[in-house]
Amino acid sequence: MRFAIATLLVVALALCASPSLSGTFVCTKSSEKILGFHNGTVLEFKPNGEVYIKSPEGKGVVGRYDISGEKLNIKFEVLGTTLVVEGKLEGNRIVFTDGAVFEKR
């Protein structure tokens, strides 16, 4: 009985843990949209769910990310508007739905 309860607790904790991403990724293929990511944009992911987005011009914004399997969502604000971009983890790359590609540095 105790073993069953302990096993259930371990499984429950594993399911509650959210996956994290860390490291720096650089845009090597620009977005197909005018307002999308451009070559040289840097994404710096922190294990706590924060992502620092730095443009090639040096301007930056802090956002939040979440991962579900290979799916990645980044949420951030620009001029009071909340933006959400969706992408997919592919090995050491992130490919966004708007065509932007980031490579791990």
The pLDDT of residue 74 is: 97
Domains of the chain with bracketed CATH: 19-104 (2.40.128)
The pLDDT of residue 19 is: 66
pLDDT surpassing 90 at residue 14: no
Distance separating alpha carbons of residues 8 and 29, to the nearest angstrom: 45
Give tens-digit pLDDT for 91-104.
999 999 999 999 99
Q: What is the DSSP letter of 18?
A: P
Give tens-digit pLDDT for 55-100.
999 999 999 999 999 999 999 998 999 999 999 999 999 999 999 9
Q: Which residues of 76-96 are buried (b: 16+ CB within 10 A; e: fewer)?
A: beeeeeeeebebeeeeeebbb
Distance separating alpha carbons of residues 38 and 17, to the nearest angstrom: 33
Weakest mean pLDDT among 4-18, 35-49, 67-81: 4-18
Q: What average pLDDT does the structure give for the chain? A: 85
